[in-house]
Chains A and B, each alone.
Chain A
Amino acid sequence: MSANVNHSLPLEYQTEQNRLNILGFWIFLGAEIVLFATLFAVYGVLGHRYAGGPTPSDIFKLNDVLIETLLLLTSSFTCGLAVFFMRQRDMKKMLVWFIITLLLGAGFLFMEIREFIHYVHEGATMQTSAFLSSFFVLLGTHGAHVTFGIIWAIMLVIQLLQRGLTPVTARKMFIISLYWHFLDVVWIFIFTFVYLKGMVA
């Protein structure tokens, strides 16, 4: 089956194997949505139990959060551009936009780690209150996904440089782009239901 190559389709969809891998990854993303839903549920239940510790409006700094949001949103956009150029079989432009995506992702991670260090210095640690425990678990899980995505992407860049653009590497590139967009989707909800919610109250 996988030997049947349909050249009328974009590279990443040309074989049956690739189509199944992409479908499988969408199903994995469905499971990821449920994983993050459980963490949002925990935060929704415990997010206002401060145990005498700091409240969201005490520690959140909107400017830093907005910079993180814009970095991740822009990286999602540049990742989309990378796939756009992949479909035009322009590997050079694809790699340039993909590496920009990685740098923006790294910038996001730098800002987030700085934010966490700042909180801990203010005495807002994971042990302080139920609010902060659920906050760090939700944000930490997202941050761990970004970290994993960056490592994954670096390995994929190495493979793309070695093997060029083939149906197999194109499929890998397409799948990591889905993963990366998904991380931004999760961040939209963190931004809204953790940070902005904390600023309203």
Chain B
Amino acid sequence: MEHKSKYPISHVVGFLFSLVLTFVAVFVTLKMNVSYTIVMWIIGSLAVIQAGLQLFMFMHVTEGEDGKTNVMNMAYAVFVAIVIVAGSIWVLTSGHAAH
């Protein structure tokens, strides 16, 4: 758990990957000639990957004796977030379309 190395390698790697993911997302949005749905799926996936990088390489979610609890807590929070976002959009837009 303690950083033994003299060089913050995981932070540097996480930072570089984050930069790449950000610019790839911008490139896909502006330059790729594919449908809206495909663009949203690609950049949405890139965002999830980048959030994971932050969680594991910057925040070290797994470390400490409560590491497993942290991971389960985050997984549950993400599950609730997906239910709230996807569920709300689904219910409210389909309800609106039906009336």
> Would you list which residues of chain B between 53 and 98 have a CB under 8 Å from chain A?
54-55, 57-59, 61, 64-66, 69-70, 73-74, 76-78, 80-82, 84-85, 87-89, 92-93
A45 touches B51 (CB 8 A): no
A144 at the B interface (CB under 8 A) = no
Q: Which of B47, B57, B81, B87 is within 8 Å of A33, CB to CB?
A: B81
Q: Do most interface residues of chain B lie in helix, strand or loop, or is the interface mixed? A: helix
- In the complex, chain B residues whose CB is within 8 Å of the CB of A69: 22
B85 touches A199 (CB 8 A): no
Q: Give the complex CA separation of A53 and B36 in angstroms.
A: 22
- In the complex, chain B residues whose CB is within 8 Å of the CB of A26: 61, 66, 69-70, 73-74
- Interface size of B in residues (CB-CB distance below 8 Å): 50
The verdict on A77 contacting B11 (CB below 8 Å), with A26-B73, A87-B3, A185-B54 known, is: yes
A135 at the B interface (CB under 8 A) = no
> Would you list which residues of chain A between 79 and 114 have a CB under 8 Å from chain B?
79-81, 84, 87-88
A1 at the B interface (CB under 8 A) = no
- Interface size of A in residues (CB-CB distance below 8 Å): 51
**Interface-forming stretch among A116-124, A149-157, A188-196?**
A188-196
Q: How far is the CB of B96 from chain A (nearest CB, A)?
A: 9
- Give B contacts to A, CB under 8 Å: 1-3, 6, 8, 11, 14-15, 18-19, 22, 25-26, 29-30, 36, 39-40, 43-44, 46-47, 50-51, 54-55, 57-59, 61, 64-66, 69-70, 73-74, 76-78, 80-82, 84-85, 87-89, 92-93
Q: Nearest 7 A-B pairs (CB), nearest first?
A: A37-B81, A30-B77, A41-B88, A192-B47, A33-B77, A77-B15, A84-B8
